[in-house]
A and B are shown apart, each in its own frame.
Chain A
């Protein structure tokens, strides 16, 4: 599992994706913090202006980032035939578990470094925001693995990824602030409302992420490749 995780992590790091993500988070945080500082307190969600920008950025574009970088994490290997070779060498659980850990490690690194850099300007380490945001990202990573397992080609996973990246933030944010009955399930399923949680409920998105991963593993274990 850790061999696959290392491969996945290093491949993401090598392709400048990490640099791009960190640069986007840090630069947007640095330049937009003064604008956010003058906005209503709800936008701050209990943190400093720099962290608030990173949070808003990820709430709006987190799905896009994760899904566009990793939508083909499984489907690419299936389409290229390398999945068959991997399956002959190790267990299917090790493959999918390794992929999850690799992407999770990439985002742990990217988010950690970004928050560490802005903590120099903010003069504090935003631990709670880090946990809330990483929990949010683990939800998306689990969903990404599930979608990539369901799609048998990178084109299909890209299409599904784009659709989810567009729809999930709209419904997630809308449902958080809406009382409409049909939106209520999304309020609890999607990871947005847990962003202000300061107790154990901030880890609810992680449970959903693990749930998606479990479902993906179940499907992957049953499938012919």
Chain B
């Protein structure tokens, strides 16, 4: 597996304010890598560094084994929506950016790109006449010029209508299927959970958690939640022998457990203590719960 992005101990300060405090991670080819953090956590700063817009105070990174200046032609970047030339049409943007990256793209190829993001009927409009969602689509289209190996998408679905958001997610999956590597940020945690192969959580300028959803749950204190309906209200002392965190509502009990293996242990203990179990449902921690737990 080829490493597409290797980030080593990146730090970034603005004056006395430390925004990134030693960020390190790597992304492999074909991965969809979700990047998560609160507003002001340093996500945008890291993206600006990875795209060459800002310089790290210390630390380094390589994309496809190359420094950023040499790697630019292999990267597609989805920018903020207000980074377009308002007087230009979508086609003028794509033509200009293709030339700027020394890519030989025919008009038909660029039209196909606009069609791929759903802008095929808006090619003659100037960008200033575009809606928020249309600018987002144009952003994705320009990021896909020349089939780049590494694509950085900063909140690609925010502000899109549900249909367009679904289409965008399908497009991102398609990119990974094509062997392209995607670095994506989103405030929609459910979406990021479903879409990403791995996720990193940035907190106060540091990566607080990184891995697959399973790995994130494993490092979490209470990764598993089981809801049990019993024949009678259990005694607190008994529940304390099962786990340190639980909730009781009459005969309904919720147990918060650390790992999957604990589930069988608890059921066994309940049966052994002569409780009749009417219903058991298990719920794994969502990304949102893991994210909130990092506070």
A contacts, CB < 8 Å to B:
3-4, 7, 80-82, 84-91, 222, 224-225
Chain B residues lying within 8 Å of A88, measured Cβ to Cβ, are: 51-53, 72, 75, 77, 79
Could you say which of B51, B83, B100 has the most chain A C-beta atoms within 10 Å of its C-beta? Answer: B100
From B52, B85, B97, B101, contact of A87 by CB (8 A)? B52
In angstroms, Cα B77 to Cα A88, docked, is 7
Q: Is the CB of A85 within 8 A of B54?
A: no
In angstroms, Cα B82 to Cα A90, docked, is 19
Besides A3-B96, A88-B79, A90-B101, 14 other CB < 8 A contacts?
Answer: A3-B99, A3-B100, A80-B83, A81-B82, A81-B83, A82-B85, A85-B79, A87-B51, A88-B52, A88-B72, A89-B72, A89-B97, A90-B100, A225-B54
Chain A residues lying within 8 Å of B97, measured Cβ to Cβ, are: 89
Given A82-B85, A91-B72, A4-B100 contact (CB < 8 Å): yes
Given A82-B83, A82-B84, A84-B79, A89-B55 contact (CB < 8 Å): no
Chain A, residue nearest B99 (CB): A3
Is B260 interfacial (CB 8 A cutoff)? no
Chain A residues lying within 8 Å of B53, measured Cβ to Cβ, are: 84, 87-88, 224-225
User: Which secondary structure characterizes the binding site on chain B?
Assistant: loop
Q: Is the CB of B80 within 8 A of A81?
A: yes
Interface size class of B (residues with CB under 8 A): 20 to 34
Closest chain A CB from B275 CB (angstroms): 61
B contacts, CB < 8 Å to A:
48, 51-55, 69, 72, 75, 77, 79-80, 82-85, 96-97, 99-101
In angstroms, Cα B252 to Cα A168, docked, is 84
Chain A, residue nearest B81 (CB): A81
Q: Give me 12 A-to-B residue pairs in the complex whose CB atoms sit less than 8 angstroms apart, sorted by A's number.
A: A4-B100, A81-B80, A82-B83, A82-B85, A84-B79, A85-B84, A86-B100, A88-B53, A89-B97, A89-B101, A90-B100, A225-B54
Q: Is the CB of B83 within 8 A of A85?
A: yes
Chain B residues lying within 8 Å of A89, measured Cβ to Cβ, are: 72, 77, 97, 100-101
Closest chain B CB from A2 CB (angstroms): 9
Chain A residues lying within 8 Å of B96, measured Cβ to Cβ, are: 3, 7
Chain B, residue nearest A1 (CB): B100
In angstroms, Cα B96 to Cα A90, docked, is 12
Chain B residues lying within 8 Å of A91, measured Cβ to Cβ, are: 69, 72
Could you say which of A7, A89, A224, A225 has the most chain B C-beta atoms within 10 Å of its C-beta? Answer: A89
Total A-B pairs, Cβ < 8 A: 52
Closest chain A CB from B29 CB (angstroms): 21
Given A3-B100, A89-B100, A90-B101, A84-B85 contact (CB < 8 Å): no
In angstroms, Cα B151 to Cα A88, docked, is 12
In angstroms, Cα B69 to Cα A37, docked, is 56
Chain A, residue nearest B80 (CB): A81
Closest chain B CB from A124 CB (angstroms): 41
Chain A residues lying within 8 Å of B100, measured Cβ to Cβ, are: 3-4, 86, 89-90
Q: Is the CB of A224 within 8 A of B101?
A: no
Closest chain A CB from B276 CB (angstroms): 63
Chain B residues lying within 8 Å of A222, measured Cβ to Cβ, are: 55
Chain B residues lying within 8 Å of A3, measured Cβ to Cβ, are: 96, 99-100
Chain A residues lying within 8 Å of B54, measured Cβ to Cβ, are: 224-225
In angstroms, Cα B99 to Cα A80, docked, is 21
In angstroms, Cα B99 to Cα A87, docked, is 14
Chain B residues lying within 8 Å of A90, measured Cβ to Cβ, are: 72, 100-101
Chain A residues lying within 8 Å of B48, measured Cβ to Cβ, are: 84, 224
In angstroms, Cα B102 to Cα A3, docked, is 9
Chain B residues lying within 8 Å of A84, measured Cβ to Cβ, are: 48, 51, 53, 79-80, 83
In angstroms, Cα B52 to Cα A7, docked, is 22
In angstroms, Cα B237 to Cα A60, docked, is 94
In angstroms, Cα B101 to Cα A4, docked, is 11
In angstroms, Cα B82 to Cα A100, docked, is 25
In angstroms, Cα B74 to Cα A112, docked, is 41
In angstroms, Cα B69 to Cα A90, docked, is 8
Chain B residues lying within 8 Å of A7, measured Cβ to Cβ, are: 96
In angstroms, Cα B75 to Cα A3, docked, is 19
Chain A residues lying within 8 Å of B85, measured Cβ to Cβ, are: 82
Chain A residues lying within 8 Å of B52, measured Cβ to Cβ, are: 87-88
Chain A residues lying within 8 Å of B77, measured Cβ to Cβ, are: 85, 88-89
Closest chain A CB from B272 CB (angstroms): 62
Closest chain B CB from A33 CB (angstroms): 39
Chain B, residue nearest A81 (CB): B83
Closest chain B CB from A225 CB (angstroms): 5
